[in-house]
Amino acid sequence: MESFVTMQSCKRYVLLVLLFSFARNTLTSVTHYSIPEEMKEGSVVANLAADLSLDVKTLNQRKMRLDIIANKKYLDVNKETGELYVVEKIDRENVCNTKSSASCYLKLEIILENPVRIFNIEVEILDMNDNAPQFRRDVIHLDISEATPKGERFSLSNAVDPDVGINSVKTYHLSESEHFNIEVQSGRDGSNFAELILTKTLDREQHAVHNLILTAVDGGTPARSGTASVIVRVLDTNDNTPTFDKLNYSLKIMENSPIGNLVIHLNATDLDEGSNSDITYSYSLYTSEKTQETFNLNPSSGEITVKGMLNYEDFRIYDMEVIATDKGASALSGQCTIKIMVEDMNDNHPEISIKSFQSPVNENIELDTVIAVVSVSDKDSGDNGVVDLHIPDNMPFKLRESSDNYYELVVSQPLDREKVPEYDITFTVTDRGSPPLTDNETMTLELLDVNDNVPQFPQSFYTIRVMENNAPGALISSLTAFDPDLHENQYLVYFIVEKEIANTSMSMLFSINPENGNIYALKTFDYEIENEFIFHIEARDSGSPPLSSNVTVHIIIVDQNDNAPVIVSPWRAHGSVVEEKIPRSTDKGSLVSKVIALDTDSVHNSRITYQFLQVTDATLFSLDQYNGEIRTMRMFSYRDPRHQRLVVAAKDNGDPALSATVTIKLSTVETAVKAYSDMTEVPLEYDIFSDLNLYLVIGLGSVSFLLLITILVTIVLKCQKPNPSKAAPPCRNSVISERNSTIADSTLVSNDAYWYSLFLAETRKGKMVVRQPVPKGSRYIVSSLPRGTGLTDTSGSAASTLQLLDVNDNVPQFPQSFYTIRVMENNAPGALISSLTAFDPDLHENQYLVYFIVEKEIANTSMSMLFSINPENGNIYALKTFDYEIENEFLFHIEARDSGSPPLSSNVTVHIIIVDQNDNAPVIVSPWRAHGSVVEEKIPRSTDKGSLVSKVIALDTDSVHNSRITYQFLQVTDATLFSLDQYNGEIRTMRMFSYRDPRHQRLVVAAKDNGDPALSATVTIKLSTVETAVKAYSDMTEVPLEYDIFSDLNLYLVIGLSSVSFLLLITILVTIVLKCQKPNPSKAAPPCRNSVISERNSTIADSTLVSNDAYWYSLFLAETRKGKMVVRQPVPKGSRYIVSSLPRGTGLTDTSGSAASTLQVRV
- Residue 684 pLDDT greater than 80, yes or no: no
- Residue 419 pLDDT greater than 60, yes or no: yes
pLDDT value of position 1154: 44
Range of weakest confidence among 325-334, 432-441, 470-479, 1043-1052: 1043-1052
Q: Which residue has the higher pLDDT, 815 or 776?
A: 815
Please state the rounded mean pLDDT for residues 70-85.
Answer: 83
Residue 264: how many CA atoms within 13 Å on its side-chain side?
Answer: 21
User: If pLDDT is split at 50, 70 and 90, which confidence band does 1034 have?
Assistant: very low
- Residue 556 pLDDT greater than 90, yes or no: yes
- Residue 545 pLDDT greater than 80, yes or no: yes
User: Which is nearest to 524 in space by CA: 467, 485, 588, 575?
Assistant: 467
b/e sequence 609-630, b meaning 16+ C-beta within 10 Å: bbeeeebeeeebbbbeeeebbb
Could you read off the pLDDT of 752-772 as tens digits, one per residue?
444 545 555 444 445 555 555
Residues 6+ apart with CB under 8 A from 476: 464, 466, 470, 510, 519, 520, 521, 555
How far is CA 1000 from its chain centroid?
48
Range of weakest confidence among 15-29, 271-285, 380-394, 625-639: 15-29
Could you read off the pLDDT of 1085-1094 as tens digits, one per residue?
444 333 343 3
The SS3 of residue 182 is strand
Range of weakest confidence among 191-205, 256-270, 1110-1124: 1110-1124
How far is CA 85 from its chain centroid?
70
- Residue 532 pLDDT greater than 70, yes or no: yes
> What one-character-per-residue DSSP string does 79-138 give?
TTTTEEEESS---HHHHS--SS-S--EEEEEEEETTTTEEEEEEEEEE--S----EES-S
User: If pLDDT is split at 50, 70 and 90, which confidence band does 215 have?
Assistant: very high
Q: Which residue has the higher pLDDT, 864 or 65?
A: 65
Sequence-ordered strand ranges (E) for 628-778: 629-632, 643-651, 659-669, 731-736, 742-744, 747-748, 759-762, 767-770
> What one-character-per-residue DSSP string does 233-293 give?
EEEP------EES-SEEEEEEETTPPTT-EEEE--EE-SS-GGGT-EEEEE-TTS-HHHHH
Percent of the chain with pLDDT over 70: 75
User: If pLDDT is split at 50, 70 and 90, which confidence band does 1143 have?
Assistant: very low
The SS3 of residue 1149 is coil
pLDDT value of position 294: 92
Could you read off the pLDDT of 708-717 as tens digits, one per residue?
787 877 787 7
Please state the rounded mean pLDDT for residues 157-162.
Answer: 84
Q: How far apart are alpha carbons 939 and 1029 in whole angstroms? A: 10
Could you read off the pLDDT of 294-336 as tens digits, one per residue?
999 999 999 999 999 988 767 889 999 999 999 888 888 999 9
Q: Considering the chain, what is the average pLDDT of its residues?
A: 77
Report yes or no: 498 and 592 within 8 Å, Cβ to Cβ.
no
Percent of the chain with pLDDT over 90: 24
Tally of CB atoms within 10 A around 37: 22
Please state the rounded mean pLDDT for residues 867-872.
Answer: 88
pLDDT value of position 459: 92
pLDDT value of position 426: 92
Could you read off the pLDDT of 806-840 as tens digits, one per residue?
888 899 999 998 999 999 888 988 889 999 999 89
pLDDT value of position 21: 44
Q: How far apart are alpha carbons 605 and 600 in whole angstroms? A: 9
Phi and psi dihedrals of 715, rounded to 5? -60, -45
pLDDT value of position 409: 92
Please state the rounded mean pLDDT for residues 1031-1042.
Answer: 39
User: Which is nearest to 954 in space by CA: 986, 989, 918, 988?
Assistant: 986
- The 8-class DSSP code of residue 1013 comes to S
pLDDT value of position 649: 92
Range of weakest confidence among 58-72, 404-418, 761-775, 1009-1023: 761-775
- Residue 1084 pLDDT greater than 70, yes or no: no
Q: Which residue has the higher pLDDT, 24 or 309?
A: 309
pTM above 0.85, yes or no: no
Range of weakest confidence among 368-377, 750-759, 859-868: 750-759
User: If pLDDT is split at 50, 70 and 90, which confidence band does 551 have?
Assistant: very high
Report yes or no: 191 and 158 within 8 Å, Cβ to Cβ.
yes
Range of weakest confidence among 176-190, 209-223, 557-571, 1138-1152: 1138-1152
DSSP H helices, 898-1047, are: 1032-1038
The angle at the Cα of 894, spanning 890 to 896, to the nearest 5 degrees, equals: 170
User: If pLDDT is split at 50, 70 and 90, which confidence band does 1131 have?
Assistant: low
pLDDT value of position 60: 85
Could you read off the pLDDT of 902-919 as tens digits, one per residue?
899 999 999 999 998 888
> What one-character-per-residue DSSP string does 434-484 give?
SS--EEEEEEEEEEE--S----B-S-SEEEEEEESSPPTT-EEEE---B--
Please state the rounded mean pLDDT for residues 249-257.
Answer: 89
Please state the rounded mean pLDDT for residues 405-432.
Answer: 90
- Residue 944 pLDDT greater than 60, yes or no: yes
The SS3 of residue 626 is coil
pLDDT value of position 78: 87
- Residue 746 pLDDT greater than 50, yes or no: no
Residues 6+ apart with CB under 8 A from 801: 779, 780, 781, 782
User: If pLDDT is split at 50, 70 and 90, which confidence band does 1056 have?
Assistant: low
Top-ranked range on mean pLDDT: pick from 174-178, 185-189, 579-583, 1106-1110: 174-178
User: If pLDDT is split at 50, 70 and 90, which confidence band does 208 have?
Assistant: confident
> What one-character-per-residue DSSP string does 934-971 give?
EEEEEEETTPPTT-EEEE-EEE--S-TTTT--EEEEEE
Q: Which residue has the higher pLDDT, 865 or 1047?
A: 865
User: If pLDDT is split at 50, 70 and 90, which confidence band does 1095 have?
Assistant: very low
Question: 868 - beta bridge partners?
Answer: 877
- Residue 1011 pLDDT greater than 80, yes or no: yes
Range of weakest confidence among 60-74, 170-184, 978-992: 60-74
Q: Which residue has the higher pLDDT, 665 or 17?
A: 665
Please state the rounded mean pLDDT for residues 338-364.
Answer: 86
- Residue 747 pLDDT greater than 90, yes or no: no
Range of weakest confidence among 493-497, 557-561, 749-753: 749-753
The SS3 of residue 768 is strand
Range of weakest confidence among 191-200, 620-629, 654-663, 1099-1108: 1099-1108
Report yes or no: 981 and 1071 within 8 Å, Cβ to Cβ.
no
Question: 735 - beta bridge partners?
Answer: 743, 782
